[in-house]
Amino acid sequence: MMDKLASEFLFEMAIEVGEPAIIGANPSGERRVVPIRGGRFAGPRLSGRILPIGEDALVIGKGGRTRLDVRIVLETNDGALIYTCYHGLRTGPEPIMRRLAAGETVAPESYYFRTSIVFETGDHRHAWLNDLLAIGIGHRPPSGPVYRVFAIL
């Protein structure tokens, strides 16, 4: 019987983002598209840089509840390219979410920020990534999002 969830730490990644294009209000909230400017990731099996390719498409709803739809490209230290796609949710008490939106530093444990991540690569050295689901536990300092990423086994 499979009634326990096991995970393995993959890496921590810090993403550098640009200024958002504010698309405006829609029935779900306010749409923003944020360009990815780069970043780094490092862990026991994978390390490298985040290429300045991709976007973070956000919908910010009532009370600051934010749905994420992100596409980025990782480049490992050994030269492999890994397409990375994730969806997520950042939510918490409205005063905390207002402080985050204002660019303040907020304790990560004071709000919920999780992502589900899938990877694609044609590089045989990292093909194992094509067959797993990962979860990111995030926080949002003023410099940009930071995630601890875990493979779900």
Please report whether residue 2 resides in a domain.
Answer: no
Distance CA(116)–CA(152), nearest Å, equals 10
Please report whether residue 132 resides in a domain.
Answer: yes
| Contacts (Cβ under 8 Å, ≥6 apart) of 107 | none
Considering its fold, how many domains does the chain have in total? Answer: 1
**Amino acid sitting at position 46:** L
pLDDT, one tens digit per residue, over 8-65 is: 999 999 999 999 999 999 999 999 999 999 999 999 999 999 999 999 999 999 999 9
- Which domain, by its residues, includes 127? 7-152
Please report whether residue 117 resides in a domain.
Answer: yes
Please report whether residue 135 resides in a domain.
Answer: yes
Reported in sequence order, the residue ranges of the chain that DSSP labels E, i.e. its strands, are: 7-17, 21-26, 29-42, 47-60, 66-76, 81-91, 112-120, 133-139, 146-152
Please report whether residue 1 resides in a domain.
Answer: no
CATH number of the CATH domain containing 39: 2.40.160.20
pTM: 0.94
Please report whether residue 147 resides in a domain.
Answer: yes
Q: Tell me, what's the pLDDT at 1?
A: 67
